[in-house]
Amino acid sequence: MYFNTLKKRGTVPRLKGVICLSRKTRVWFPGAMYHITSRGNRRSAIFFDDGDRKKYLRLLEETRERYPFLLHSYCLMDNHIHLLLETLTTPPGDIMKMLHSLYAIYFNKRHDLNGHVFQDRYKASLIDSPKYFLEASRYIHLNPLRAGLVEHPLDYKWSSFPAFVTSAKDPHVITEKILSHVPEPRRKNYFNYVIGGLSPN
């Protein structure tokens, strides 16, 4: 109120070295796709065990019932998540707000904790080309390997990678759109691409 009063009078003081920043509006349109990441507060763990990860995926489906979306890849790490998410009629902010609010309530109650579970605002990189779409999926699926958790991406059970390269079914993810960007045999070539042996056109 004080600032607005000064502004009307034309006497707003100049604060040396202070820059006023507003939160940048995310680009969104129906059908927009994003590589979404979110970390635990102060990089703390957001999953203590498999029970937490199962609950997160159940809440993801609960959120999807209210705000339909398509999930093309995912990986749940100890202290952060990766989602390759395609919106339909709802901006990603509404989706992530519901999902992470529900999960934070569950997590704090189950583990007798208080405070923020996730650090700051989630990050969302807009997917603007088929090449980036494929690269984001590979990055997500290689995350456990880069973190030294497994020796092979197939060894990590909280990733969508097995659904792309084996007969395993994953109810949370659709594989068709990503696989459509690699030549036949699609599963084998996507496997080679993720491992590093394929450079798609």
Q: Is the pLDDT of residue 22 over 70?
A: no
**pLDDT tens digit sequence for 107-135:** 999 999 999 999 988 999 999 999 999 99
**pLDDT tens digit sequence for 56-66:** 999 999 999 99
Picking from 140, 133, 172, 136, the residue whose alpha carbon sits closest to that of residue 156 is 140
Burial letters for 154-187: b for 16+ Cβ neighbours within 10 Å, e otherwise?
A: bebebbbbbbbbeeeebeebbbeebbebbeeebb
- Other C-beta atoms within 10 Å of 22: how many? 5
Rounded mean pLDDT of 71-93? 97
Write down the mean pLDDT value for the chain: 88
What the chain holds in terms of domains, given with CATH numbers, is 33-175 (3.30.70.1290)
Q: Could you please report the per-residue DSSP string of 29-60?
A: -TT-EEEEEEEBGGG--S-SSHHHHHHHHHHH
Q: Is the pLDDT of residue 18 over 60?
A: no
Q: Is the pLDDT of residue 181 over 60?
A: yes
Q: Is the pLDDT of residue 6 over 50?
A: no
